[in-house]
Amino acid sequence: MNARTRSRRSRRVASPWSATLACLVLLSPAGCATNPATGETQLALIGEEQEIQMGREAAAQVEAQMGLVDDPELQRYVSRIGQRLAAASERPDLPWRFQVVDDPTVNAFALPGGFIFVTRGIMAAFMSEAELAAVLGHEIGHVTARHSVEQMSQQQLFGGLAGLGAVVFDLGSIAQGVLGTGLSLLFLQYSRDDERQADDLGLRYMVREGFAPQEMLDVFQTLERVGEASDGGGMPGWLATHPAPEDRFQRISAAIEADTIRLADPIVHRDEYLRMIDGLVFGPDPRNGFFRGGEFLHPGLRFRMEFPGDWQTRNLAQAVLAGSPQQDAIIQLTLASQPSADAALRELAAQQGIRVASGSRTSVNGFPAAVAGFEAESQSGPIRGIAAFIEYSGNVYQVLGYAAASRYASYEGTFEGTIGSFDRLTDPSALAVEPRRIDLVRVDGRMDLQSFASRYGASADLETLSIINGVPEGGMLDPGTWKRVVGEAVRAGG
C-alpha cells in the first residue's frame, strides 16, 4: 500500500474518447492513414489529439496508483535518454514523457501519445545506458507504430480501464489468483507481431542515437532470466505484458549482423548508468507496508492491522488483500478518497449494484469510524459483507470484509476482529524499517560470481546477483564496478 497513491485513485475519469470513437464508427466512414514508423496503412479510428488525451489520462492513473520513484536526478536521466530516442523517431512531436515508477517488478510499458514508464525493478536489472535505451526504444516503437492506441481502444471498448479504482466484488477471481496478479489489468497486451515490430523500431532508434545495438540482446537475456527466476514473486512483469516471440534474440541478432552501418564509437555507458542507480531501492519497499505473520505494518502511514493468520495476503500499491484458505471470503484495505468516514460510506452506498444497510457511527481504538453491512451481486453469486471507514491521521481507511452470502455468518466475527485491530503503529523497529538497495562494489581482480556472492551477497542470493549483474551463475566478473544488494530483507510482499 503506497502512501502516495491515494487522492486521485477513485476519482472518476470521464472518457470522452469512447464517445468520440463511437461517433466515428457510427457516423463516418473510418479514415485510413499510413503509419510513418511502419509504412503500413492503418485504420485511423482515433486521431492524434484523442490518442494523446487517452494516454495523458491513463498516465495520471498510473502515477497515482504506482507512484513515481522519488529521485529527481534519476528521473531527469531517464527522461533525457528517452527524449533523445523519441526525437529520432517518426513521431517526434508527441508530448513524450519518460518516468520511473516505484514498482519492484521488472517491467516497462507505453501508453498512447508517448507516455512511457519503466519500473525501478527493470532499472535495477539494466547494466548500461544502452540497455535502458533498448527498452525505451522498444516502448517508443509501440507508440510510433500505434500499437498502444489500438490496444487501449480495444480495452476501452471492453471496459478495461474503467474498472480501475472501483471496488470489484469477485470472489471467483480469488481462485484464479487475483491475490497474485494485482495490477495486470492495467497493462496493455500486445501481439507477437507487435513485439517484433517494436523490437525492430527500438533497434532503429537506438542505432540512430549511436547506442551499441548488441546491448538489446543483453536485455533479452536478462528479461528471460527474470521470467525463469525462482523468486519472480508471482507478480506481473514484462513477460505478462510482452508475449515474447521465441525468435526475438535471433531476429535482432541477425538484424545487427546484416546492418552495414557500423557505429564508429557506439555508446554503452556502463559506469555512467551504474552510478545513476547506486542506492536505488531494490525489491518491495517495506515503508509501503509489510506483513509480519498476519500482522500488517505500515511505517509510512504509521498504522497496523491484524489479518487472520492463515489467510493468503498481498500488499499492492493501492490495496492490501487477504483471502480465506477456502477462497470464499476476502478482506480488503484501501484508502478512501473522501475526507470523512461518513462521506466515504455514502460514496460506497452510491455505487451501482450494492445495497448498504444504514451505517452507524462508532470508533475503532479511539479513531472515529462508520460501519455498515452490505450486500452485492458478484459473478459467483450474492455476497454479503461489512464495510468500515476509519479516520486516522488525515486519511480515511476503508476496510471491506465480504463472503458468499451463505458463508457470511461464519466470517462475521473474523471481519469484525480485523476491523477492530486497526491501530496506530508504535513499534520503533517497524517505524525505522528500511528497504534493500542496490550498492556498487569495485572489484580489482577477476573474480567468479560465486566468490563475489559469498563475499558481498548477504542481502541477495546468487541467482539474484547473477541476474542483476548480467552474468551466468558460474560466470566470471572482470575487474570493474558490479552490483550487490544491501539492507535487511523484509518480507514485504505478503
Binding positions for Zn ion, rule: CB under 5 A: 195, 198, 242
Q: How far is the CB of 225 from Zn ion (least distance, A)?
A: 18
Q: How far apart are CA 161 and CA 235, in angstroms?
A: 19
Q: For the chain, first and last CA: distance in Å?
A: 11
Q: How far is the CB of 137 from Zn ion (least distance, A)?
A: 11
Nearer to Zn ion, 206 or 430 (CB): 206
398: which strand partners? 334, 389
Q: How far is the CB of 198 from Zn ion (least distance, A)?
A: 5
Q: How far is the CB of 362 from Zn ion (least distance, A)?
A: 50
Nearer to Zn ion, 169 or 211 (CB): 211
Q: How far apart are CA 406 and CA 404, in angstroms?
A: 5
227: CB partners within 8 A, 6+ apart: 237, 238, 239
The residue assigned the cell 485504420 is: 43
Nearer to Zn ion, 127 or 135 (CB): 135
Q: How far apart are CA 391 and CA 363, in angstroms?
A: 9
Q: How far is the CB of 397 from Zn ion (least distance, A)?
A: 37
Q: How far is the CB of 114 from Zn ion (least distance, A)?
A: 15
Coil, strand or helix at 100: strand
Are the beta carbons of 375 and 383 closer than 8 angstroms?
A: yes
Nearer to Zn ion, 192 or 407 (CB): 192
Nearer to Zn ion, 5 or 148 (CB): 148
Q: How far is the CB of 438 from Zn ion (least distance, A)?
A: 25
Nearer to Zn ion, 247 or 377 (CB): 247
Nearer to Zn ion, 51 or 199 (CB): 199
Nearer to Zn ion, 190 or 291 (CB): 190
Cα separations in angstroms, 205 against 37, 65, 129, 181, 209: 11, 30, 14, 32, 6
Torsion, Cα of 420, 426, 428, 429 (10° steps) = 10
- Of 18, 6, 12, nearest to 351 by C-alpha is 12
Q: How far apart are CA 138 and CA 447, in angstroms?
A: 34
Q: DSSP states of 447-491 as a string?
A: EEHHHHHHHH-TTS-HHHHHHHTT--TT-EEPSEEEEEEES----
Q: How far is the CB of 242 from Zn ion (least distance, A)?
A: 4
Nearer to Zn ion, 145 or 198 (CB): 198
Q: How far is the CB of 491 from Zn ion (least distance, A)?
A: 31
Are the beta carbons of 6 and 114 closer than 8 angstroms?
A: no
Nearer to Zn ion, 40 or 272 (CB): 40
Q: How far is the CB of 146 from Zn ion (least distance, A)?
A: 13
- Of 6, 431, 342, 380, nearest to 176 by C-alpha is 380
Q: How far apart are CA 301 and CA 384, in angstroms?
A: 29
236: cell is 506481473
